[in-house]
Amino acid sequence: MSSTIVSLPDQSTARIPKVNYLTKENGLLSWLLTGDHKRIAILYLISITFFFFIGGALAGLIRLELLTPQADLMATDTYNKVFTMHGVIMIFFFLVPSVPATLGNFLIPLMIGAKDLALPKINLLSWYLYLAGGTLALYTMMTGGVDTGWTFTTPLSTHYLNTNVLTTGLAVFIAGFSSIFTGLNFIVTIHKMRCPGMTWFRLPLFVWAHYAASILMVLGTPVLAIAIVLVALERTIGIGVFDPTKGGDPLLFQHLFWFYSHPAVYIMILPGMGVISETISTFSRKRVFGYTAVAFSSVAIAVFGFFVWAHHMFIMGISNYAMLVFSLLTMLVAVPSAIKIFNWTFTLYKGSITFETPMLYSFGFMGLFTIGGLTGVFLGTSGTDIHLTETYFIVAHFHFVMVGGMLMAFLAGIHFWWPKMTGRMYPEKISQLAAVVTFIGFNFTFFPQFILGTLGMPRRYAAYPPEFQILNVFSTAGASILGVGYLLPVIYLVWSLKYGEIAGSNPWQATGLEWQIQSPPLTENFVVTPIMDHEAYDYDWLEKKKEKEVVTSVG
Amino acid sequence: MSDSPAIVHEADHHEHPAYLRHHFESVEQQADTTNFAMWLFLLTEVMFFGGLFTAYLIYRNWYYQAFVAGSHQLSILWGTLNTGVLISSSFTMAMGVWCAETRRRQGLVLSLVITFVLGLVFLGIKSIEYSEKIEKHHVPGFHYSLQSFLDPDSDEAAKAAGDKPLPLDVARHTEVYFSLYFAMTGMHALHMIIGIAILGYMIFRAQAGAYTTGHVTFVENFGLYWHFVDIIWIFLFPLLYLISRHA
Amino acid sequence: MSEHKEPEHQDEHEHHIVSPMVYLTIVVILLIGTGLTVGASYLELGIFNPIVALAIAVIKATLVVLFFMHVKYSTKLTKLTVGAGIFTFITLVSMTLADYISRAWGKW
């Protein structure tokens, strides 16, 4: 595969533009008090990478414990704390902000032709709230952790534990506001700050995906907030809303919790799907098939996502009627996701496909997300869910969609837009290797868990029957490969900051406004307000433009 | 039909007031955008209180008798008065926005001050009500007392409402009622406190003329917040105080 | 086409200023409504007590939203936003209640 669409400027004469958002101002305060969405995106990128590796280390501990059937590496209480913190950190401090806060922040103003997000100060506040929540989460870990599971199920979390439920709850509450403000900012920006000619249906699908995810962030997260507040009140003054001895219903917490947490999974995946739309199109040199369908399916996922939450509660004591309703609605919500997969596949058909790193990750996404999504249908069917829930089948399902899906999409996006953010290319060969290693490691880690689940191994258990050991060993071996796959990008991406090839403004020959300006961009993004006069993914327009060779970089 | 998005055209600065942020093209866009942002924020508040209303709806239907007994412990007088106070403060806030729009500086300051005072009156009445509850041991938790419900004659509010003694298990559910009462009115009061604090800041700025030179968005958007807090109370009042006042 | 992006709608805040008479009318209606709802709670209306109380509250809230919060004079986007909030709130309430109502049919 030596064909590639990469088109770099002549390396002997190319230079990073002298004036760009990174060099415009110097000093710590210019970063800590910035309003520039691109700087905030970089700040977020560093923070979430940090939390990712903490969550990853916790995952490593889990897999190490599960090498043997006995709970011998750590006490079962400690194991509970480890998987709880793994979940809390990975979900609230990595997955939820991953693409939106880094790539979304960086790219949305660029993609719509704006100078910044609508509310730059709120954007900075989001980051500080994220840090505050993250710091609290770390503090919780250092002062004994919490062992409720990331789901804080009552009455365990309200009445039966002495661990740091309150501090963790507060950390998540604060991080929730970070998420709300990011989503609010995106919705306002996308509605009000599009450049002339940028109609809704000329927006890149990345923007549509973030719009849908933002709706979920704004409408769903507050319900999580009130659920946490009620748990806190229950724990402190014993108000009794979740306490059966006082007439409360513990299941009410779960209703409120999952009302957010189900849309939360769409908050996590939709931005990743937005990335995939961009990469699939660029590396097939073809407009996304069925643009309107993909755009509307993003919004459909957001809307339907609000109607299915109790499929997380099938065995918890909801009524049979509710089981029926929620199970049926869950079947409905799978449809828009499937529509996207079909549309991406048709985009590939008869396209000029090349296999640069972002595309490798995108292929990984398509395969693994499909598997994860299909297993979601098994779980949405209440009859099978009764047997599969609370087993490793669930663990495998959500890791397939979140790690095999979302994390791969995140890495695809990071690699795809790395040249735009830094002005430099990452090294192609080692990055392709890392993508393949990740894919292999991922499958070794999580596929055995589907089997373990159907065989009956329960989740959240430090000890298990010995007949499950061999699959667990497989899984742990895979996890070590996966770890290597994730470490490599950190190393070579940092390396590329100094030694990577100069990328120029459009190394991928992609459409999209962000590729028509210099890399790295100016602080104000555009020297003059762009006027959008072509459809999204218009490769003909790009051809005509190259013939005219308008130079747009400064310095 | 142009081929390149980077057409050079003159950026005409027809007006560039100091308060126009540089990422906005015009004052209208900025005002429009911040207004929309405030509405979105209010949506989050709707969902936040929504969780509490959901809990209320469920438990009121499960424990209707206990909720009736609990609500008889609240004073109709104070509740109605507070509702009137808050509605009036919404009126004065709306008048404040009008004054800002029509550049009446003194009118704006007066409206904001009256709104501020009415807000404080609301909180004052609330604290009277809360202290009554505390005295009677109707705060959920360790010191919760069932006496008013097991023996209504010993309690003047229950006696006045003509309550019958409740069986023990029903009486215990009054604690759920009060949990929701304190959670909902407490959350509402917290939002009032924040609003009053911002009002205080606004009064100073209004006095300095910051909002009567054409830049009214801060007052307008705060007005939206204030009206929203009023709306929450419009629902809390009948749900908590007026469950059943007939014999 | 060398103009700045125009807002996609008429900006109403500068151009439509709601008159104090409207505000006065509304506040009087709201206060009357308050009196009505207190009075209604003293009547024995059976199942209609909560319905009447909620209906009056909804009407009051609607008046505040439309007039004090200017939604009547606002853009379609603002109206859509308000609608979205109400819709999501109703989804939360009704679908949660769907579980609770159906748990013990007839005992609700």
Residue A3 CB-density burial (10 A; 0-12 exposed, 13-18 middle, 19+ buried): exposed
Interface contact C34-B87, CB threshold 8 A: yes
Q: Would B20 be classed as within a structural domain?
A: no
What pLDDT, in 10s, does the model give residues B116-153?
999 999 999 999 999 999 998 999 887 888 888 888 88
8 Å CB contact between A130 and A47: yes
Distance (Å) from the alpha carbon of C18 to chain B's nearest alpha carbon: 7
List the single residue in B with minimal CA-CA distance to A218.
Answer: B44
Q: With an 8 Å Cβ cutoff, are B173 and A246 in contact?
A: yes
**Segment C64-101, tens digit of pLDDT:** 999 999 999 999 999 999 999 999 999 999 999 989 98
Report pLDDT for B6. Answer: 42
Q: Can you tell me the distance from the alpha carbon of B141 to that of B178, in angstroms, rounded to the nearest whole number?
A: 10
C80 and C70 within one domain:
no
Q: Look over chain A and give the mean of its residue pLDDT values, rounded to a whole number.
A: 94
B173-212 per-position pLDDT tens digit: 999 999 999 999 999 999 999 999 999 999 999 999 889 8
Kindly list the residues from chain C whose CB atom is less than 8 angstroms away from the CB atom of residue A252. 96
CB contact under 8 A, A252 and B176: no
Beta carbons of A319 and C92 less than 8 Å apart: no
Whether residue A21 contacts residue A39, with contact meaning beta carbons closer than 8 Å, is answered with yes
User: Which of B11, B37, B173 lies nearest to residue A184, judging by beta carbons?
Assistant: B37
Per-residue pLDDT tens for B72-107?
Answer: 999 999 999 999 999 999 999 999 999 999 999 999
Is residue A220 within 8 A of residue A267, CB to CB? The reply is yes
pLDDT tens for each residue of C3-27: 344 444 444 444 578 899 999 999 9
Nearest residue, CB atoms, B98 vs list C17, C44, C84: C17
Cα–Cα distance for residue pair A207/A107, rounded to 1 Å: 9
What is d(CA A501, CA A31) in angstroms, rounded to the nearest whole number? 26
Q: Does B26 touch chain A (CB under 8 A)?
A: no
> What is the tally of structural domains in chain C?
2
A194 touches chain C (CB under 8 A): yes
Residue C21 sits at the chain A interface (C-beta within 8 Å):
no
User: Is there a single domain that holds both residue C90 and residue C46?
Assistant: no
Q: Looking at residues B156-184, what average pLDDT do you find?
A: 89
Q: Is B102 helix (H, G, I), strand (E, B) or coil?
A: coil
Read off the CATH number of the domain in which B133 is found.
Answer: 1.20.120.80
Neighbours of chain B (3+ CB pairs under 8 A): A, C
Instruction: Give B29's contacts in chain C (Cβ within 8 Å).
Output: 5, 7
One domain for residues C84 and C39: no
Interface check C98 vs A, CB under 8 A: yes
Q: How far apart are CA B167 and CA B48, in angstroms?
A: 34
The answer to whether A306 contacts C91, with C-beta atoms less than 8 Å apart, is: yes
Q: Do A321 and C98 touch (CB under 8 A)?
A: yes
Residues C64, C81, single domain; the answer is no
B10 CB neighbours in chain C (<8 A) are 2
Q: What are the chain C neighbours of A194 within 8 Å (beta carbons)?
A: 5
d(CA A503, CA A418): 9
Q: Please answer yes or no on whether B58 and C100 come within 8 Å at the CB atom.
A: yes
Q: Which of A191, A259, A320 sits opposite C92 (nearest CB)?
A: A259
**Residue C5 touches partner A, C-beta closer than 8 Å:** yes
User: Residue B12: what pLDDT?
Assistant: 46
What is the dihedral sign for C-alpha A117, A419, A195, A523? positive
d(CA A28, CA A40): 13
- Radius of gyration of chain C measured on its C-alpha atoms: 20
Query: Which of chain A's residues have a Cβ under 8 Å away from the Cβ of B25?
Result: 529
Read off the amino acid at residue A291: Y
Q: Give the residue extent of every domain in chain A.
A: 28-554
Are residues C68 and C80 located together in one domain of the fold?
A: no
Looking at beta carbons, which residues of chain B come within 8 Å of A237? 139-141
Interatomic CA distance for residues A406 and A98, integer angstroms: 9
| Contact list, C84 vs chain A (CB under 8 Å) | 215, 219
Distance from CA of C31 to the nearest CA of A (A): 31
CATH class of A28-554: mainly alpha
pLDDT at A218: 97
pTM of the entire predicted model: 0.93
Burial class (CB in 10 A: 0-12, 13-18, 19+), A199: exposed
pLDDT value, residue C15:
57
The answer on C11 and C61 residing in a single domain is yes
Contacts of C85 in chain A (CB under 8 A): 219
C86 and C54 within one domain: no
**pLDDT the model gives residue A290:** 94
Whether residues B48 and A223 touch (CB distance < 8 A) is answered with yes
Touching B: C residues 43-72, CB under 8 Å: 43-44, 49-50, 53-54, 56-57, 60-61, 64-65, 67-69
B223: nearest CA partner in chain C:
C69
Give the pLDDT of chain A (555 residues) as one tens digit per residue.
458 889 999 888 889 999 999 999 999 999 999 999 999 999 999 999 999 999 999 999 999 999 999 999 999 999 999 999 999 999 999 999 999 999 999 999 999 999 999 999 999 999 999 999 999 999 999 999 999 999 999 999 998 888 899 999 999 999 999 999 999 999 999 999 999 999 999 999 999 999 999 999 999 999 999 999 999 999 998 888 998 888 899 999 999 999 999 999 999 999 999 999 999 999 999 999 999 999 999 999 999 999 999 999 999 999 999 999 999 999 999 999 999 999 999 999 999 999 999 999 999 999 999 999 999 999 999 999 999 999 999 999 999 999 999 999 999 999 999 999 999 999 999 999 999 999 999 999 999 999 999 999 999 999 999 999 999 999 999 999 999 999 999 999 999 999 999 999 999 999 999 999 998 999 999 999 999 999 999 999 888 888 886 555 544
Residue of chain A minimizing CA distance to B45: A222
Alpha-carbon distance of B65 to A399, in angstroms, equals 47
Residues of A in contact with B34 (CB under 8 A): 118-119
Contacts of C100 in chain A (CB under 8 A): 319
- Could you tell me if C66 and C85 lie in one domain? no
Same domain, yes or no, for C25 and C63? yes
What was the pLDDT predicted at A2?
Answer: 56
Write down the ipTM of this complex.
0.93
Burial of B208 (0-12, 13-18, 19+ CB in 10 A): exposed
Please report, in angstroms and rounded to a whole number, the separation of the first and last CA atoms in chain A. 35
Closest-CA residue of chain A to C82: A219
Is A528 within 8 Å of chain C by CB?
no
Q: Which residues contact B64 (CB under 8 A, 6 or more apart)?
A: none
* A 278-317 near C (Cβ less than 8 A): 306-307, 309-310
Report which DSSP code applies to C71: G
**Contact residues on chain C for A215, CB-CB shorter than 8 A:** 84
| Cα R_g (chain A), whole angstroms | 23
Tokens 């913190």 — which residue? A85
Q: How many domains does chain B have?
A: 1
Q: Which residues of C touch B234 (CB under 8 A)?
A: 57, 60-61, 64
Q: What does the pLDDT read at residue B214?
A: 82
Interface test with B, best of C3, C13, C72 (most B CBs within 10 A): C13
* Residue contacts between A and B (CB atoms, under 8 Å): 152
Question: What pLDDT score was predicted for residue A409?
Answer: 97
What DSSP letter does each residue of A322-363 carry, written as one string?
HHHHHHHHHHHHHHHHHHHHHHHHHHHTTS-----HHHHHHH
Domain extent at residue B236: 34-242
Average pLDDT, chain B: 89
Q: Are residues C46 and C98 in the same domain?
A: no
Q: Compute the distance between CA of residue A447 and CA of residue B89 in angstroms, rounded to an integer.
A: 61
Residue-range definition of the domain harbouring residue C14: 2-74
